[in-house]
Structure 1
Amino acid sequence: MSPNPRSNAVLALLVAGVLTATGAWAKSSDRNQPMDITSGAQDGNFGDNATTKMWGGVEIKQGTLEIEADQGEIYSKDGQISRAVFTGKQAHMKQINDDGTPIDAVADRIDYDVLNDVVTLTGNYKVTSPKGSNAGQKMVYNTKTGNMQSGGDGTRVHTVIQPKTKAPGATVGSPTPAQPAKPGAK
């Protein structure tokens, strides 16, 4: 399919919709930034009920958001973007949240159901932030509610939760000072 300004604009809007919906994972100002999409090739149709495929190294940059995947597919239903899927060994997404913390996600497949605001990471996924990490074979994340479901399918899930920032002057791992004995105590 030859490049066409209308197709590129629709694709940019689609990807923006995908990324905007990852509310808890997204810096809100990124939505207002230009989107830069490159791939080796793309083929498709931006009609009311259509699919556009990209392959050959898909790279998307918008503000702090970066996505890299071997392939991408964008689906539309009734003229609106309904789903976006990024695949690879591994598809990679990173972004800075509104609070300034980075988030990094990798999976063999990143599938965003735009209509239901649900992101599904499958195939050796790992989501990492300064607060911790979660890894396994499948995670379903509702971007509206923040609810996350992982495991339950016979595979193991590994979660690491980092401790809160230590209090000023406190030393991690230092013993608590001994309290003086009370008079009359044995």
Structure 2
Amino acid sequence: MYPNPRASALLVLTLVAASAAWAKTSDRNQEMIIDAGHQEADYSDNGQVVWTQGVVVKQGTLTISADGGTLRMRNGDPSQASFTGKPVKLRQQLDDGTWMDAQADRIDYDMSNETLTLTGNYTVTSPKGSNSGQKMVYNTKTGGMQAGGDGSRVRTVIKPKSAQGNAAPAASNESDER
């Protein structure tokens, strides 16, 4: 089953908003391709679209790969997008040409408060360093980030400028569970 144009347009808006702070600006104007083993959809005002059996979303330099994904609607507008897997992987080129990689067991984007939440063994890496732990909440509008606070440890690695090349290191899980 192919998604209808309305649901596809809403998903585009959802994912573009979720990755806006990290995104290569030109990605927003690229077509989005969603590939999944199976799709079920309820296109009502409060419905949802569910992708299972492996989901890959591509838009410009943005790639998200997950075991499954869900787009929830509220009053005809997208309200939340969720991707699950062990792990969900997100990769995107930034405007400066470097790459950002993120992975987590779950990635959620809530449109009402414009927050991206990475839950379960998350790691975000870029040439500047990495951040890892069990939960990170990132506000795509303000750039504010909160991690930890739930009893788990958070690890941040900041590379010296001399070590900040153009290639991002491979994503790794460096969470420190003390």
- Shorter-chain TM-score: which interval? 0.7 to 0.9
**Inter-partner Cα distance in structure 1 for 2:113 and 2:55:** 24
Letter in 1 for 2:29: N
Unpaired runs of at least 5, structure 1: 167-186
Q: 1:14, CA displacement in angstroms? A: 2.9
Task: Give the structure 2 partner of residue 144 of structure 1.
Answer: 141
Unpaired runs of at least 5, structure 2: 164-178
Q: 1:70, CA displacement in angstroms? A: 0.2
Task: Give the structure 2 partner of residue 92 of structure 1.
Answer: 89
Q: Per-residue CA shift, 1:110-132, capped at 9, x if unaligned?
A: 00002211000000000000011
Aligned length: 162
Task: Give the structure 2 partner of residue 80 of structure 1.
Answer: 77
Higher relative contact order (CA 8 A, sep 6+): 2
Task: Give the structure 1 partner of residue 50 of structure 2.
Answer: 53
* More off after superposition, 27-36 vs 104-113: 27-36
Matched, 1:17 2:13: yes
Identity of aligned residues (%): 56
Runs of 4+ in structure 1 deviating by more than 6 angstroms, as ranges, are none
Q: 1:15, CA displacement in angstroms? A: 2.8
Letter in 2 for 1:111: D
Structure 1 length-normalised TM: 0.83
How much is the aligned-residue C-alpha RMSD, in angstroms?
Answer: 1.3
Check whether the contact 1:86–1:110 (CA below 8 A) recurs between aligned residues. yes
**Inter-partner Cα distance in structure 2 for 1:27 and 1:12:** 20
Q: 1:75, CA displacement in angstroms? A: 0.4
Q: 1:12, CA displacement in angstroms? A: 2.7
